[in-house]
Amino acid sequence: YKNVDDPAYNTEPEDANSGRAALTWIPHPKANFLLSYNLDRQNRDNLSFADSDDPWGRDVDLDNFRAIGTFQPARDLTLSSSYGYMRYKVEQDLVYDNLAGDPLVDKNVSMEEKAHVFTVAAHYRFSEKLYLTGDITYTKSEGDFDPNNDDLLEPVSIASFSELDRRDFILHLGGEYSFENGLSMGLDYRYGDLDDKSDNIYDSVEDGEAHIMSINASKRW
């Protein structure tokens, strides 16, 4: 728990509560699992705006959950999988100025972002000199901003500029070979694909894909 009397910035909480819980389970020498959950709750009821002397409020919720499983089916092979969930929500009173400079109050405006992340990975040591690795990550992200003031909803809603609904896919493959003289050579390949589900004409996010390949070398003396 943390308390700050009249913080300097409106984005800083007056009261904050945070907690963490974690659980590790090892049912077998070649298998282990980890669960963890973090939360943060923030509150402030004395926001300060230049155009208004009234006290306004802000509440923030942060949640982060992760589950990881690691397996070793063979001496030289390790497999792992994980799931992560992240949530960030802000509910805040806002004050805008219209074209005449008059303050407009918008109570309990909500902004929320959520993401689900799935990952599977493998690491294989082919020999003392060669190892191979690979992983796949899939992310589902969503977000929205919900003002209530009519001046912000017509003719085009300002919320449309903040809408988020996308899918990300990343493939990674790599390996390294060590020579007798201390020289090591590595090859790394990454492929990424972005799918913008919202297809919003008011943002700059577009579908796309990328291929990245790199070669690295290191020498030990």
Whether the predicted pLDDT of 148 surpasses 90: no
Half-sphere exposure of 43 (CA within 13 A, CB side): 7
Q: If you average pLDDT over each of 21-25, 93-97, 153-157, 162-166, which comes out highest?
A: 21-25
Q: In this predicted structure, what is the pLDDT of residue 159?
A: 80
Q: Please state the pTM of the whole predicted model.
A: 0.85
Q: How high does pLDDT run on average in the chain?
A: 90
The CATH architecture one would assign to domain 2-219 is Beta Barrel (2.40)
Q: For the CA atoms of 116, 211, 184, 71, what is the dihedral angle to 10 degrees?
A: 30
Residues 6+ apart with CB under 8 A from 158: 145, 147, 152
Report residue 53's pLDDT band, with 50, 70 and 90 as the boundaries: low
Name the residue among 171, 53, 52 with its Cα closest to residue 122: 171
Report residue 10's pLDDT band, with 50, 70 and 90 as the boundaries: confident
Phi-psi region of 84 (alpha: psi -120 to 50; beta: other; left: phi over 0): beta
Whether the predicted pLDDT of 210 surpasses 90: yes
Percentage of the chain lying above the pLDDT 70 cut: 97
The predicted-structure confidence for 110-142, as pLDDT tens digits, reads as follows 999 999 999 999 999 999 899 999 999 999 999
Q: Domain ranges in the chain?
A: 2-219
Q: Would you list the DSSP string of 181-207?
A: TSEEEEEEEEEEEEEESS--TTS----
Radius of gyration of the chain, Cα coordinates, nearest whole angstrom: 24
Contact 91, 107 (CB under 8 A): no
